[in-house]
Chains A and B, each alone.
Chain A
């Protein structure tokens, strides 16, 4: 219970640091936590007996996957809010979250096969979980391709619909890991009955890695949203300049 209490406190307290607008302060905090995460993975946590050293990929592979799901969930909510309120801010959040989600999804799709090669003896298998993850990546790459064009209202609304519909794939991935016959390992973090399959050292290392990735995600989201809003402001200003010069 104490471990889960600490984890909960970690998730509640640390994102609060990122409400502050001082990005140098945030970057320093992020850098320190990333360093601690690397120390824990490579020096502190013992090597797992069955899989050996490649099991250490788990800490950043699963953290990337959880960050990716969070990014697509925020994009899903922001897309709904954009269609409802027609606010450019929600559109900027959705676009930014999808872009960061695609970065983390790419990392999941790269690190997964690197782990699989020595464990399964194959880089890739067309099993449900892996295929659904690839489909998720393709859906959100399509979203970004739609948005590659400048501020076109029709494309923006269509992309928002894609951001909502595409999210349906996320619960399917969870479902496939839990219930379908798949090569992908079953969840070890929280197993049936609420127990964990990890030792204390492994759990601590995983929590710090996940915390570091979530903080990185919030940092990137703020930066990327700021870019999207600046682009929009630039378009408005350019239009104003053109109107002024045309008079």
Chain B
């Protein structure tokens, strides 16, 4: 992590200020374009108003390998509604004046590489994004993108999994920008009734390896698990499928309200 003021990452500053308030960051995830981009814009603002600290915004992809059925279906609906990487970034750009919290874009390698790493990062930075999560871009493939992104003050966030050996964990967390994304399950995204107990010790290990904030994601389905992340010493909780499911099952026109309501409920446990 950089220490010079000018290079200070928006994401790490955000974690610092949340920590100073004695909380952990609530980081909701949802898919842009499901059901459509104008609703997504309203959901973004509603989550912000409802106390989200950072929003992880999904860019839909046809073959999302790391996602379970809920987010797969959401991506399929978003693609069907005509959502493209550029249209997501344009929507975000239009909200620039209104969004005050950091936005992290979640996208797979192919749409990003197809647009071109430089162009994607240029457009993402212009739209006001603070970071990128690319779930199928492990450490070995990430170096080039990370350097292109950081030149535009975008943090490329790397992921650590329960299967990651200790030495590798160290290299990942040293190279991850903004925060380290701890995948809490050996598996794809989706709600789990309970979090694996070993997540607690993974958080502890990561804490010892680096001062990078740790956000825990995959499988967090409600307030209880958000509290658990907090008690384990994590710095942020990412809630994806549980929110996506609520948006998808809300009656048409109620998606925004439903997202905000769930977010408020989660914030209480941070």
A binds B: no
